[in-house]
Amino acid sequence: MTSNESRVIRAELLSFDADPGEGDSPAEGSVRHYADGALWLENGRIKAIDDYAALAPRLPEGIETVDHRGKLVMPGFIDSHVHYVQLEIMASYGRQLLDWLNEYTFPEECGFAQRERAEVISNAFLDEMLRVGTTTAQVFCSSHPTSVEAFFSACRERDLRMLAGKVLMDRNAPEALCDDTYGGIRDTERLIGEWHGKGRLGYSLTPRFAPTSTRQQLDATGGLLRNDPSLWLQTHLSENPGELDWVAELFPESRDYLEVYEQSGLVGPRSTFAHGIHLDQEMRCRLAERGANIAFCPSSNMFLGSGLFDRLAAREVGLNITYASDIGGGTDLSGLATLKAGYQVGQLRGQPLTAWQGLYGLTLGNAKALSLDDKIGRLAPGMEADFVVIDPDGSPLLGRRHARCKTLGERLFALMMLGDDRSILETWAGGRRQHQRGQA
């Protein structure tokens, strides 16, 4: 099937036009829902969306119709922070961040100097992402340029919209993983030239976190961002108390962790800071003022015992929140599982996450915070045809629960709590069906 064909998907359709708020019911005008809808695709984009009965008379005669009545179509899920190179060290037992990095993560990432390994894991990772309905992610590769080349090549072959970057890290890690302060920057510049803006790919500058980069390397990264504001930036911030103490020791000239990044010019509207658990309100305000976003990684935060992210404190100051799996620290690639963990973290803080807010976050919310909302995140004319076909009866248990639901809100919440890869019947990206449940 090629993307320049025209076809229509008939199904229940759900998409967000705006933030639904924190209430049990979504804010007026925030949700677009068609019980019997039609999504018309052409040349890899959405041409029209409407009630089936309204659109049918406008459709060209003989157009292929994919009949998914009884299924729910939503925009493809977005994962704002994930490490593809950590796929095979998920579920490594019993450590908190710094020990976990030293014992499992750094040794694992050393293997990505080899092109063949990087290719195999890139493809395995993309298969897994599509299996759970994720069509876009912001991805950490390893510090080896070849890990980035392998990943972007695999994404290009599948015509996926992806952001990724070479990890910059010039100290405090095994030699095989550390780059040279400016050699890492030169490699980054070359990779940007080769991949940024090519097809649906974007480059995200990727200093790992403050402890593994010298001030010189962070400053040079800030220079790249200043020279080309179309780049993205991803790093980690305030995940774990041991990490905070270490940063304070390494950067005594900075008054707090965030200021380390501010002083190097790394905090801007295209910057994603993973975790941001141990922040005060003044730091949240500084992030919000710059239009940056915090990637909330609830399954990782629980797995590594990092802490309970205060989502409402971030919202209070207008700080953008994105949702992310952060595997290998996270326990699940599925966006639905991320939302389930987000709900659980929220309950422990007295701030449960509604399905409306969660599913908005996983789609349009993440797209907006990553400045991709002119391309993905909504089912709307002109948007790229990246979407997921959800089977509300995908598992026997979810089917039972689903049968009892009376409202759309109840159904979405049950999906968020009980959904998994069995709930994803198909994943489409670039107008092509790229995953079909039960087929590989």
Say whether residue 322 binds ligand GUN (CB under 6 A): no
Point out which residues pair with 51 in neighbouring strands.
Answer: 37
b/e per residue 294-322 (b: at least 16 CB within 10 A): bbbbbbbbbbbebbbbbbeebbeeebbbb
Say whether residue 300 binds ligand GUN (CB under 6 A): yes
Site size toward ligand GUN (CB under 6 A) is: 11
Shortest CB 105 distance to Zn ion, Å: 9
Say whether residue 208 binds ligand GUN (CB under 6 A): yes
Closest CA to 276 of 262, 293, 259: 293
301-340 residues near Zn ion, rule: CB under 5 A = 326
400/87 Cα distance (integer angstroms): 32
Q: How many C-beta atoms surround the C-beta of residue 91 within 10 A?
A: 10
Closest CA to 359 of 384, 380, 342: 342
Choose between 82 and 388: whose C-beta lies nearer to ligand GUN: 82
- Of the ranges 97-105, 116-124, 216-224, 346-354, which one interacts with ligand GUN (CB under 6 A)? 97-105
Say whether residue 105 binds ligand GUN (CB under 6 A): yes
Say whether residue 243 binds Zn ion (CB under 5 A): no
DSSP conformation letters of 142-181? -SSHHHHHHHHHHHHHHT--EEEEPEE--SSS-TTT---H
121/284 Cα distance (integer angstroms): 35
Choose between 300 and 366: whose C-beta lies nearer to ligand GUN: 300
Closest CA to 379 of 391, 390, 358, 364: 364
Shortest CB 302 distance to ligand GUN, Å: 12
Say whether residue 340 binds ligand GUN (CB under 6 A): no
Residue nearest to ligand GUN (CB): 329
314/46 Cα distance (integer angstroms): 33
Shortest CB 236 distance to Zn ion, Å: 6
Task: Pull the structure tokens for residue 385.
Answer: 């045809």
Task: Pull the structure tokens for residue 376.
Answer: 């993905």
Say whether residue 311 binds ligand GUN (CB under 6 A): no
Site string for ligand GUN, 219-238 (x = CB under 6 A): -----------------x--
Q: How many C-beta atoms surround the C-beta of residue 396 within 10 A?
A: 9
Closest CA to 161 of 416, 375, 411: 375
Site size toward Zn ion (CB under 5 A) is: 2
Say whether residue 73 binds Zn ion (CB under 5 A): no
Choose between 49 and 304: whose C-beta lies nearer to ligand GUN: 304
Say whether residue 170 binds ligand GUN (CB under 6 A): no
Choose between 34 and 257: whose C-beta lies nearer to ligand GUN: 257
Say whether residue 421 binds ligand GUN (CB under 6 A): no
**Using the rule CB under 5 A, which residue among 274, 341, 376, 379 binds Zn ion?**
274
Say whether residue 101 binds ligand GUN (CB under 6 A): yes
Check if the beta carbon of residue 121 is closer than 8 Å to that of residue 108. no
**Using the rule CB under 6 A, which residue among 10, 68, 71, 83 binds ligand GUN?**
83
Task: Pull the structure tokens for residue 137.
Answer: 């992610």
389/180 Cα distance (integer angstroms): 45
Location of structure tokens 């759900």:
14
Choose between 149 and 326: whose C-beta lies nearer to Zn ion: 326
Say whether residue 329 binds ligand GUN (CB under 6 A): yes
Say whether residue 85 binds Zn ion (CB under 5 A): no
Choose between 274 and 390: whose C-beta lies nearer to Zn ion: 274
Say whether residue 108 binds Zn ion (CB under 5 A): no
Shortest CB 310 distance to ligand GUN, Å: 18
Choose between 210 and 424: whose C-beta lies nearer to ligand GUN: 210
Interhelix angle 408-418/335-348, rounded to 10 degrees, is 100
Residues at the interface with ligand GUN (CB under 6 A): 83, 97, 101, 105, 208-209, 236, 239, 300, 326, 329
